[in-house]
Amino acid sequence: MTEGTRGRAWALLTHAALTQAVTFVLRPATSYRALELDMSPAWLGVLSGTFALVPLVLALPAGHVVDRLGERRVLIAGGVLLTAAGGAFLIFGGSIPGLVVASIVLGTAHLCAVVGQQALVANTTSSGRLDAAFGYYTFAASAGQAAGPLLIVLFGGSKAIPDTTPVFQGAALIAVVVLACSFAIRDGARAAERDAAAPSGVGGLLRLPGLVRALLTSCVVLAAVDISLVYLPALGAERGIASGVVGALLGLRAVSSMTSRLFLGRLTRLLGRKRVLLVSIAASAAGLALAAAPVPVWVLAVAVMVAGLGLGVGQPLTMSWLAESAPPGMRGRAMSLRLTGNRAGQVIVPGTIGLVAAGLGAAGVLWVTAAGLAWTGFAARKLAVDRPPDS
């Protein structure tokens, strides 16, 4: 790897980490602000779904733009929108409609960033290294996810519901750094590949064997991550757990995901993608089910750690499988197709589970989520994600 290539890789990983730091501090902080505004915990899932509402419509067009114009322009657009989202939370976050608007802008910014980042990884990595490359990429994302909640720990202190205004201010400053970092990234796909991209390529992607199961697995796992972000603070508020402790638990979940992603390439070479995927889903289901039980804080920490280890695997494995299956010049659309499924899950799953389990509180939501993960793991048994022997 040349010095220039290393520099571009570090720019990408920094961009990914800071994007997730902003997102993963703003989303739980949104839950706390909504609770301050007397929103019912049953409706927190609906508020969470607004993060994915507009991106659900824009995901495929964003992938097409990446394939035609390159990753850099989309990443810059994401930085601009992320900065705008930070300002929106500060200006309009004093009301529920304002939180909805700011959450939608945040979701759109996050979409542009991750489509560009994932396409860049896919377009600059050889087939045999995709698991490791996406493992490192999602490791950086998890690092940001771990760093984000630390702002809640810093500003929340011992209060069950922290002062969210300083949290919003810090996130807005980090968003400006993300925007600056976007300009250091160069396109990964060659111009010839972009010019040759087929305009009807999404139909061909949809016919890939096992695609539906892969998309289902990806969206349910990501929805479970979202639900943990939204309902762990609600669970802490119900049980009188300090917001600082809840922030530390969210950080522990992210650090656990970092650990599984850091060694993902080695794990899949040793055990195969399918076995690693099934074990990880089972672990995440067990961890969330235990977290929902009335257990001491130290047991809750163990449960969150186990869940984090499992939840860290599903996303990079489905990314690498899609990148390996999609032809050059269409990988932006392949990543955006996966994100479309993820966004659909983020819109539908948290709100549905929140309403179904409304009478059971935050613990009931986590129990239902664990059951959904168990069902997804059962369905994923027939998913053919392992690489051919010669790869």
Q: What pLDDT does residue 176 have?
A: 92
Q: Which amino acid is at 223?
A: A
Report pLDDT digits (tens) over 275-301. 888 888 899 999 988 988 888 888 989
Least confident residue range of 52-66, 137-151, 354-368: 354-368
Q: What pLDDT does residue 389 have?
A: 42
Q: Per-residue pLDDT averaged across 200-217, rounded?
A: 70
Report pLDDT digits (tens) over 305-359. 999 899 888 888 888 877 777 777 777 888 888 888 777 776 677 767 767 666 6
Q: Are 280 and 315 in contact (CB under 8 A)?
A: no
Minimal CA–CA distance to 174: which of 15, 333, 390, 340? 15
Please report which confidence band the pLDDT of residue 191 belongs to, taking 50, 70 and 90 as the band edges: very low
Q: Are 194 and 70 in contact (CB under 8 A)?
A: yes
Please report which confidence band the pLDDT of residue 188 belongs to, taking 50, 70 and 90 as the band edges: low
Please report which confidence band the pLDDT of residue 390 belongs to, taking 50, 70 and 90 as the band edges: very low
Q: Which two tokens stand for residue 118?
A: 């994932």
Between CA 194 and CA 23 the distance in angstroms is 30
